[in-house]
Chain A
Amino acid sequence: MQKMLHIDPAKCTGCLSCEMACSYENYGVFATAKSRIKVFDFHHTGRKVPYTCTQCDEAWCLHACPVEAITVDKVTGAKVVNETTCVGCKVCTIACPFGTINYVQETGKVQKCDLCGGEPACAEACPTAAITFIDANWTGLSKMQQWADKLGNQPAAA
């Protein structure tokens, strides 16, 4: 079963635990500036929205890479940057419609979410379950459940 990161912005409090967990997992440092997941704070509405790579099946970044530095992890389905191959040309950063692959000045390579090899640190660190790692075929399950509950509470049609 393949899993994916599922994000429920309504549950996000903006604590940035996910960003710290990401940077710690990948660089051994608590540094939100190095995180591959970002939380956006829309202060006029009060909404906080975590955002990261959704691991497209037909990934723009992967197809755009001229040196085939981005490959698919067969187990997790993640699109993974091979740092030894990456030449830092940044074409993938242009190709990605979502902005979730970015250049890192310090290494001269690009970085993106790789699902931490199947145990995403962001989801583990999220205190409110705004970020979960669930069955890729059933990301709509909790919404279905909520609506089913609502429907079940309606009086039966006459």
Chain B
Amino acid sequence: MAWAGKILRVNLTAGTCKAEPLNMTWARQYLGSRGLGSKYLVEEVDPKVDPLSPDNKIIWATGPLTGTMASTGGRYTVITKGPLTGAIACSNSGGYWGAELKAAGWDMIIFEGKSPQPAYLYINDDVAELRDASHLWGKSVWQTEEILKTSLQDPLLRISSIGRAGENQVLFACVVNDLHRAAGRSGVGAVAGSKNLKAIAVRGTKGVGNVRDPKAFMAATRAAKKVLADNAVTGQGLPKYGTQVLMNVINEIGALPTRNHRDVQFEGAKDISAEAMLTPRPADGKTHLVTNQACFGCTIACGRISKIDETHFSVQNKPQYWGASGGLEYEAAWALGAANGVNDLEALQYANLICNEHGMDPISFGATVGAVMELYEIGVLTKEQIGIEAPFGSARALCELADMTANGIGFGKEIGLGSKRLCEKYGHPELSMSVKGQEFPAYDSRGIQGMGLAYATSNRGACHLRGYTVASEVLGIPVKTDPLTTEGKPELVKAFQDATAAFDSAGICIFTSFAWTLADVAPQVAAACGEEFTVEELERIGERIWNLERTFNNAAGFTAKDDSLPARLLTEPAKTGPAKGLVNKLPEMLPKYYQVRGWDSEGRPTPETLARLDLG
């Protein structure tokens, strides 16, 4: 039935590992990965728990399609209560690790408590044991992977781990697997760090051999792969340019947040774009981009593998950074670049490497640096406080602050708190470009109105991966809507949010949705799991997951007033571009959204809505 049917419960306090049967009722209601992991979390964790206390739990979860031949079927999610936001956190990653866990015969791992000393979890099919990780503590993600593979004499191990940022409980620390794929947002890595959990090393040899109807499954996955191959975005744009294909496009439409959202267009966008990555650089005549790379089972292959310019100031005498490595993807290039006004591509790649090496979310890190630079420019922060001159556009400040934050040095410790806490501390909360404490990604909601609503209502704080209406408003997928108006946006946001929850929970990548609708996903899930998984059922599951996450957040103390945007986006009009003169019109959209969702005016699902979704 595609699920392994077995979960692993690890009590870090007691040092025990215990196998449990998967709750199949929940599996059919929440599918897997994001949905199913969230269900376990909501059932087991008090919403008011301190995210960094031993009472919080953290879950690594795969979906039913993880580890199968469905295109992009290699995803897993890390679910916990997030320290950056205080909301439910659920971060999704690709690479190979998720498929390996599934191949070992586990749907998910639930960690509870706190280990008395650094520990890592070793899994070899049915064998699961906690081991001492004292020798790994203080090591980077890259070193951890190397040391485990070497010392355990198994080059086929897959590792998911935290780096120094997670150990230091940087509030936007991530979990990294396969060197440069990350469960990136909301600080899931800090939760692992707070539990002294360094890594999970997995070797799985069993595979997935129980899809319901193998013949139908192979036919469905083959047909769906053809849809991806024939689509201009997933078949050509993403493999060739990666997500970076968006840099010039979003700048053009006046929705590229620049210098902490002061501007909506960046004069240096072309210097940090996909096209720039493909242009030979003067220093060595080579292109930044080396090749593209796929995650497990993916027939899109949007991943970027690049080589930094060895003569760049950031890596002089640092040969460990000269090899090919992950990046730049669009969100990172934006956050490290446009958000700070930095147009030095090599500096962005350096900061990105540091984020991968030490396990930090480049979006929140870059955006927090953007806030620091604005505080510096208005004279609130000084060179002495920061440790370096930090005006907008300073590539040196960016690189240095990356090192300081990852390693917990000096002012880096304050950046590690994220922009909300940092800006509050220095008396300018309005300069934190965040929702529910989590920094915005790379789309300015003055130029893409629907994204304002998607950000404001995202269950994990500002995020592009919870309702990517950019697809419709900018790219015309599945239908073109006007990015500058609010009409129809509440319905659009809801539809995207629900569908996304279903994609995520199946164990596949949301990037397939540039080409696939749930009508492409349903036949694959049905062949793998059961005939009942129709398009309508997947929509219902998606909506159920959305409301489940919402009820957790409401119980954690979030209210309608947290469904908001920084004043800058609501009151300071865009200065240039097609959106010139516009602010985000969230107040026009939010009440309608609550109505469309079946929520009351305080943003709480009504009893009828809960009952309709079996959440009553």
Contact = CB atoms under 8 A, between A and B. Distances in A.
B179 interface: yes
B299 interface: yes
A103 interface: no
A32 B103 contact: yes
A14 B204 contact: no
Contacts of A37: none
A20 B103 contact: no
Interface stretch (B10-18, B167-175, B288-296): B288-296
Given A13-B301, A44-B323, A45-B323, A31 B209 contact: yes
Contacts of A43: 179, 323-325
A46 B291 contact: yes
Contacts of B67: 30
B96 interface: yes
B573 interface: no
A14 B244 CA distance: 20
A27 interface: yes
Interface in B186-230: 203-209, 214, 218, 225, 229
Interface string A2-35: 0000000000011111001101100111111110
Nearest to A47: B291
A127 B299 contact: yes
Contacts of A30: 67-69, 103, 207-209
A69 to B, nearest CB: 24
Contacts of B96: 16
A125 interface: yes
Contacts of A24: 69, 214, 218
Contacts of B69: 17, 20-21, 24, 30, 125
The size class of the interface chain B forms with chain A is 35 or more
B283 interface: no
Given A20-B69, A125-B69, A31 B295 contact: no
A31 B105 CA distance: 11
A24 B179 CA distance: 28
Given A30-B67, A127-B229, A16 B297 contact: yes
Nearest to A126: B299
A48 B290 CA distance: 12
B305 interface: yes
A98 B368 CA distance: 51
B108 interface: no
B457 to A, nearest CB: 34
Interface in B155-174: 156
Nearest to A33: B205
A105 to B, nearest CB: 9
By CB atoms of chain A within 10 A, which of B68, B156, B218, B291 has the most?
A: B291
The size class of the interface chain A forms with chain B is 20 to 34
Nearest to A10: B291
B298 interface: yes
By CB atoms of chain A within 10 A, which of B68, B179, B239, B294 has the most?
A: B294
Interface string A86-120: 00000000000000000000000000000000000
A85 interface: no
A128 interface: yes
Nearest to A125: B69
A33 B156 contact: yes
Interface in A111-144: 125, 127-128
Contacts of B291: 46-47
Given A43-B179, A45-B323, A127-B229, A34 B207 contact: yes
Contact of A33 (B204, B225, B292): B204
Contacts of B179: 43
A13 B242 CA distance: 13
Nearest to B209: A29
B299 A17 contact: yes
Contacts of B229: 127
Contacts of A17: 69, 297, 299
A46 B305 CA distance: 6
Contacts of B68: 20, 30
A32 B301 contact: no
28 contacts: A13-B292, A13-B298, A14-B294, A15-B296, A15-B297, A15-B299, A17-B69, A17-B297, A23-B207, A24-B214, A24-B218, A27-B209, A28-B209, A28-B214, A29-B208, A30-B67, A30-B69, A31-B207, A31-B209, A33-B207, A43-B324, A45-B290, A45-B324, A46-B305, A125-B69, A127-B225, A127-B299, A128-B301
Interface of A: 13-17, 20-21, 23-24, 27-34, 43-48, 125, 127-128
